[in-house]
Structure 1
Amino acid sequence: MSAIPYRRAGKSGLDLSAFAFGLWQKFGTDYSYDNQRAILLHAFELGITHFDNADRYGPPHRAAQKLFGEVLRKDLAAHRDELILSTKAGNPIGTSPYLQGGSRKSLLGSLDHSLRDLGTDYVDIFYHHRADTSTPLEETVGALSDAVRQGKALYIGISNYPTSLSQEISRLLRAAGVPLLVHQPRYSIFDRSREDDGLLDLAAEDGFGVVVYSPLAQGLLTDKYLDGIPAGARAQNSAFLSPDAITDEYREKARALNKLAAERGQSLAQLALQWVLRRTEVTSALIGASSPEQLDHNVRALDFPAFTDDELALIDEHSR
């Protein structure tokens, strides 16, 4: 297995591991602490140094941060300077207006709580998790900038912003002396909207990096659903993947992509991860895992030869 390389985040001075580990799903009180700890430590052993969190992640909300904070305290404290820890705020974690949105109170209050959850004095990247058009963008930018000036965050990111607002907040952050480091959008073979709406082009022009989430399209870009929905699969009980997505059209496209992957000597998941990382605008791909073995399998995506023009054309034909 090749060492996981680092890639520069846009025009900043920060290098990030090509794979980042996300605690979005399967990290909370519903899961085994020992298994979660083993996966996190194995990720670090493999060379993944970027761990992505949010106040929403669980269940319940904030549970993933508390879990990581415990692992940090017990196992990784000596390596804090080698880690990139990120968290997010702004996506609702309650009905109160102070537990959502882009206001100064919401963002800075959540960040203080996240620092307590993680047991650290600062995070490396603090994201606004979702655009809030009901709050003046200047207020959001002021809160994000102050998080850096107060030493509670080193860099600022955004997630799920439309391209037009991404351009505007990037301009405002640059004017405030805190340039936008990264944008975290959904991006995969089955979701290429960030190509179509110009976000990747904007990243290259404005100089911020892109850390993509759902590169496996919630498991659709694996071999799990090629013949239906197996017992215990995510599509049976996930809010993020409906059984309605497992259509005949999906299976036709996924099987064609799986055939190409097999011809290249890799799995469909490895092909999908290699595909998102082919773009120079993409700094990192966020991956999760339910076992150390699954993590080993996915990071091997870096071990295969570059795609040929014919292979890329075939992937284009079967993307959704």
Structure 2
Amino acid sequence: MPYRRAGRSGLVLPPLSLGLWQNFGTARAYETQRAIVLRAFDLGVTHFDLANNYGPPPGAAEEMFGRILATDLKAYRDEIVVSTKAGYLMWPGPYGDFGSRKYLLSSLDASLKRLGLDYVDVFYHHRPDPETPIEESMGALVTAVAQGKTLYPAISNYDAAQTDAAAAVLADAGTPLLLHQPRYSMFDRTPEDGVLDAVDRAGAAAIVYSPLAQGMLTDRYLNGVPEGSRAVTSVFLHESDITEDVLGTVRALNEVAAGRGQTLAQLALQWVLRNPVVVSAIIGASSVAQLEQNLGAIGGPELGADELAEIDRILG
């Protein structure tokens, strides 16, 4: 595995990390989830990305991963990077959401209990809070580092100005920003409008989520919307999103991938990783076979200028 350095830090990460967002929880068999996690680790995926609300239900992904850590990976804790987040609704009442010091530190304690860990390697503020000063939210991350409950602070879904502000607070406290996790794919290039530059200014790195655009950048929808696909079952992707224009774009991109001897998913992953600010892309997996196929993006032929220009033309 060709590990990559996260900004100006001492931490290296695999180019593809395993995310436990939608495929890990009570809705799937534990043995399937366990097999995916263990196969990922065997193949050199050392980073596992979680959040307090991942499941379903919220908290289930952390509990499941904690069980795997305890039964299979306990001896390898120092070879694994575990990250979790807080920032979305986790429990009822006024203190279970967004970015107050009370919520973030309480959520981290609950996450550690579910994971069965004394600390996580990375703790994210999952989204900016319009009502709470960034100084308070970042101060909570600084406290978590000081308490030994996390090693590195991180943020997710912040815009460029918010990233600059958060990075400044963390730098002043002596706990520099490690990672920013934005949504980034061929179909969502929003981070190119300032966020990636802000991450670079901070000496941090981007680790991107949804690089396959909820599965649209795979061969899943080349012939329309199949039964049981995420476009039918997920709240994050809808059948109405798979328009004829989208299908035309996906098929054209698939031709580029085929010309390189790759799947569309492998091309899409390699495309986000082309940016030097991006240290890793987070992938999900519903099976070991899907995991192995996506990991095939690592070591693929470098994207040439002509290919990048053709992709830009297709994307319009």
TM-score range, shorter chain: over 0.9
Moved over 3 A (4+): none
In the alignment, structure 1 residue 56 sits paired with structure 2 residue 53: yes
Mapping for residues 73-92 of structure 1, pairs under 5 Å: 73-92=70-89
Give the distance between the partners of 1:315 and 1:97, measured in 2 at CA.
Answer: 46
| Partner residue of 2:237 out of 237, 241, 245 | 241
Quick check: 32-41 or 12-21, which moved more?
Answer: 12-21
Mapping for residues 215-294 of structure 1, pairs under 5 Å: 215-294=211-290
**Which residue is 1:107 aligned to?**
104
**Which residue is 2:301 aligned to?**
305
Give the distance between the partners of 1:302 and 1:137, measured in 2 at CA.
Answer: 36
Q: TM-score, normalised by structure 1?
A: 0.97
Shift of 1:303: 2.7
SS of corresponding position for 1:284: strand
Give the distance between the partners of 2:206 and 2:87, measured in 1 at CA.
Answer: 19
Give the distance between the partners of 1:51 and 1:319, measured in 2 at CA.
Answer: 31
In the alignment, structure 1 residue 40 sits paired with structure 2 residue 37: yes
Amino acid at match of 1:37: R
How much identity, in percent, do the aligned residues show?
56
CA contact (8 A) 2:6 2:179 kept: yes
Shift of 1:130: 0.6
Shift of 1:202: 1.6
Shift of 1:163: 1.1
**Which residue is 1:189 aligned to?**
186
| Partner residue of 1:139 out of 125, 136, 141 | 136
**Which residue is 1:150 aligned to?**
147
Q: TM-score, normalised by structure 2?
A: 0.98
Shift of 1:199: 1.0
| Partner residue of 1:167 out of 148, 161, 164 | 164
Q: How many aligned positions are there?
A: 316
| Partner residue of 1:14 out of 11, 15, 18 | 11
In the alignment, structure 1 residue 317 sits paired with structure 2 residue 313: yes
Structure 1 residue runs of 5 or longer lacking an equivalent are none
After superposition, what is the alpha-carbon deviation per residue over 1:228-258, rounded to whole angstroms, capped at 9, x for unaligned? 1001101001111011111111011111000
CA RMSD of aligned residues (A): 0.9
Shift of 1:68: 0.1
SS of corresponding position for 2:296: helix
Amino acid at match of 1:198: G
Shift of 1:11: 0.8
